[in-house]
Chain A
Amino acid sequence: MARIVFCEDEEQIRNLIEVAMRSTAHTIEMTENGREALVAIERLAPDIIVTDVAMPEMGGFALADAVHAKPSLQGIPIMFVTASVQRGDVAKFTEHGAAGYLAKPFSPKALREKIDELIAGL
């Protein structure tokens, strides 16, 4: 069982993630932008972070950079879930220390599998 912080600005996708994760034993925290997510991460010290990239106020890359910059949070794997997965975008994921990425539209099963892979690597 892992603690996972999700960060996604689209309400529909937040709903989908919540429903998709119901069948797992993981504890999830849902946030709407990078700033909220950072607060939740500092509070919960999760095992995994799953974040959208383009969001209001604070995007996924800025969130990843902020997490990597804090010594207490270093080492938490971050997975980007995004609608932009062209060649240049994938290179950016690596630049921002991504442990994995998932392209939208994604299937709930693929999301759970990716999370399981990250947990296995912990």
Chain B
Amino acid sequence: METAEPQTDQLRGVTSNRATRAASLGVAGVVVCLAAFSIFASYATQTQVDRARLSASLLRNYEHATMAIRAAEASELEYLIEPSPEHRVELSESNQAINAAVSEVAARGGKDDARLATDILALHDQYLVASARLVAAMAAGDEVEARRIDEDEGDPFVHAMDDQITAATNGRAADAEAAFVALQNTARWILIESPVVFAIGFGLLFGLWRILEQSHRAARETYREIEQLSRLRSEFVSIVSHEFRTPLTGIQGFSEMMRDEDMTMPQVREYAGDINKDARRLARLITDMLDLDRMESGRMTLNSEPVDLNLIVAETAAQFRLSAADHPIELELDSRLPMLMGDSDRLTQVVTNLVSNAIKYSPSGGAVELRTKRTERTVTLTVRDHGMGIEPDQLEKIFERYSRVQTTETRAISGTGLGLPIVRLIVQLCDGKVWATSEAGQGSVLHVQLPLREAAVAAPLAA
């Protein structure tokens, strides 16, 4: 038999799964974003540091080249003043230094630096030619010609090289400055932005973690409920099986004896009566189970007809007086009770189940008191017994389908425990409510409260 609870659990499970998936994706997304932010910040910083470092390094190379050119110019002047072999060597070394510094610029710089280096080296080659002619003139003792060569042929190349190097040096200095400014800006941005980004990120992670935690808790709760439901269902099947087997034992046993043994007609009637009693018990059990199933699945509708509740209570009491002599049934019926609109058969079932329950739970006998009472808007039926009573934590559970199911060997009360769940479902279908009160050892009282839906005709008081 299907119940509403598992469907609710499944729905909750699906919702929980969706929330878990969404929260997990969220966590992954936040982690990826934070990682991307960190990688981007590191990459930007590193790139700008490299750029600044290169600019600074090239700037130094340019400065070396400038110094080498100026040193060469100075060596040339010194050689002109004193054309000693030492000064000639110095002049030669200065020229090599220019070559080395410019080659360094070409090797470590970019395309522009290489182009500039090529131009300077070309100028330097021409300068070297002039310098060689100057040395030759000096060697020939023609100092005038040497000075002329220095001024007219050497100096223009020196100045050209110096100008180009100076311009490039200035450019490189500007580049280095720009790189440092960019690096400073990036550092400032990271310093200000990253705490904000990480605060938002960790806030999101915390929020998503809470969602995941709740989702897990809900999943665990659902699992526990399903487990409990499964256990109760299994116990229910076990007890129902027991309840079926008991009347089946009578039916099988008596019918076999009727078949296999010689017996008198009174014996046949007696055994047939036993079989009939067991068959009716089985039928009642099946009817109860089907009723419960129909009510739980919402497939049962109630009739709406004028009903005399006092009469129903009185007739039910009369039936039980015959079958349960140990339990005197006392009535206290409110004569002001009007005819109600309701389903006579189902209300009879409610009263029957309540009285039957009261008798079952009073194994030592004792009176069962039935009372009806009219208030302004409701009609109340109470059934009091003087039996074993109900533990406080069981007062609500007795109306649950599997509540009284027990498989222990000391099974105090026979029956499937379907009576009170049926009562509750019928009363709920009538827009009423049912509850139990009990004091330890003082028996229990079951209360049914129905809305006062008066029919046109006033009810006669039942005897």
B242 at the interface (CB under 8 A from A): yes
Docked complex Cα distance between A105 and B251 (Å): 9
Cβ contact within 8 Å between B249 and A55? no
Contacts of A109 in B (CB 8 A): 256, 260
Q: Chain A 45-85, CB within 8 Å of chain B: the 1/0 string?
A: 00000000111111111100000000000000000000110
Contacts of B250 in A (CB 8 A): 12-13, 15-16, 105
Docked complex Cα distance between A59 and B409 (Å): 5
CB distance from B176 to the nearest CB of A (A): 87
Q: Chain A 7-19, CB within 8 Å of chain B: the 1/0 string?
A: 0011011011001
Docked complex Cα distance between A23 and B363 (Å): 33
Cβ contact within 8 Å between B274 and A55? no
Known A-B contacts A54-B411, A55-B410; A105 and B274 likewise in contact (beta carbons under 8 Å): no
Docked complex Cα distance between A83 and B252 (Å): 14
B375 at the interface (CB under 8 A from A): no
Number of A residues with CB within 8 Å of any CB on chain B: 28
Docked complex Cα distance between A23 and B256 (Å): 14
CB distance from B104 to the nearest CB of A (A): 92
CB distance from A93 to the nearest CB of B (A): 11
Docked complex Cα distance between A23 and B414 (Å): 30
Instruction: Look across to chain A and name the residue whose beta carbon is closest to the beta carbon of B278.
Output: A12
Cβ contact within 8 Å between B408 and A54? yes
A104 at the interface (CB under 8 A from B): yes
Contacts of A105 in B (CB 8 A): 245, 248-253
Docked complex Cα distance between A85 and B23 (Å): 49
Docked complex Cα distance between A121 and B250 (Å): 28
Q: Chain B 388-418, CB within 8 Å of chain A: the 1/0 string?
A: 0000000000000000000111111110000
| Residue contacts A-B, CB under 8 angstroms, 22 given | A12-B247, A12-B250, A12-B277, A13-B249, A13-B253, A16-B250, A19-B257, A20-B257, A54-B408, A56-B363, A56-B412, A57-B410, A57-B412, A58-B410, A84-B242, A104-B245, A104-B248, A105-B249, A105-B252, A105-B253, A106-B249, A107-B253
Name B's A-contacting residues (CB within 8 A).
Answer: 238, 241-242, 245-254, 256-257, 260-261, 271, 274, 277-278, 363, 407-414
